[in-house]
Amino acid sequence: MSIPKEEARDRKYDAFRIDLAEAAEDLVLLTAGPLQWLKTSGLQHHVLAAWQTALRFGYFAAVPLNGPPIPAPDLAARVGMDADRLSRFMKLLASQRCFREVGDGAFEHTALSAYVARNKDVEAMLAFQADEMFEAASLTATSIEKAPYTSDAPHSAFNLRFGMSPYQWYAANPERGARFASAMAGWGEMNQVTAKLRDGFPWGNIRNKTVVDVGGGSGHIAMYLAAQFQDLHFIVQDINPGMLSQGPKRPEFAAVEGRVSFMQHDFLQPQPVADPSGTGLFFIRQITHNYPDDVCVEILRALVPALERCAPDTGLLINDAVMPAPHQISRVEEYHLRQVDMAMLNGYAAKQRTLQEFARLLEVADERLKIFKVHQEGIVGLLEVRLVK
């Protein structure tokens, strides 16, 4: 099994891939029939438990990328657990083409497991999902039972599991907070976010300006864009100092250090950056889907005074998933969008929104905020917003 090179993943390739995946999934379901499909699907949480164990104990790094297969007892000694349970986890993962069993009880990498071993951001993304999000998701129905008609952060599944919001929990657990920052970079790679951001918005129109990355975490996206567009400057804002501290530690920072800076800022407070001649764009990336409507309105309102002080063509770019109308996209594409929507529900009592829902949020925040142009929809939605003065 091999994985296509990222460079080959253009729109035509994606269209063929999605069509093929849709047909293949239909074929699997037709071949299995309802009973066999339900038999295996109903046990998927145990597969996720195997992933959780493999990620937490470092199986991916412990299996050699080059060299002979490693026997289960040797692998168990490397990761610090007993050989019997390790072997059972590895055999289950191997049945899913993640690792390969060679002979009886020795294992080597497949393209899938090797990709995880080589990419620490992707590994962090998988571990974040298999740890805190898996634990929270297991309490979804219980959280709704406790508050069947109330969808807010205090009643979310994450809050029920950990006793606080994700933001509070990551602040109290800085190691997991650092992993979350890495996980968001991994999520971006898994969804080809960087290339879609690069190609989906006319960055050349704001040449020699400053982009304010509001809630930008560790700044991995700002660094990528700064490397691609060398006449742009970026200010990365985040409320969490732990997230911000990871930025200068990232390997790509050295090349853009003079054009990417960091600022601690709570985006519920008025935006402090508003240079009429220098600010080209306010950038809210993967923020709105983390919050219910009332908080999103506060976030948007906090930007209005800064937009009032800036030039009329200074925009607000909302980079978040734009949910489709029924039957507008393939089930393969919609499935991932719905998965992420459930993650927002369980983690934050929030949601992913349609274009019409975004327009309503903007109107409630300030009736002068209008969608100027829809550059992209789907998982990497790009909505350019202007304040009509």
Enzyme catalytic residues: 289
Contact 113, 60 (CB under 8 A): yes
- Alpha helix (H) residue ranges in 129-235: 134-137, 140-146, 157-162, 166-172, 174-190, 193-200, 220-228
CA proximity to 325, closest of 364, 361, 366, 354: 354
Q: Which residues contact 75 (CB under 8 A, 6 or more apart)?
A: 59, 62, 63, 83, 86, 90, 107
User: What's the rounded Cα separation, in Å, for the pair 226 and 61?
Assistant: 31
Q: Amino acid identity of 37?
A: W
Q: Is 319 exposed, middle or buried (0-12, 13-18, 19+ CB in 10 A)?
A: buried
Contact 131, 23 (CB under 8 A): no
CA proximity to 186, closest of 113, 255, 128: 128
The structure tokens 């970079």 sit at: 185
Angle at which helix 11-41 crosses helix 331-348, to 10 degrees, equals 70
- Give the Å distances, CA to CA, from 30 to 42, 218, 315: 17, 45, 49
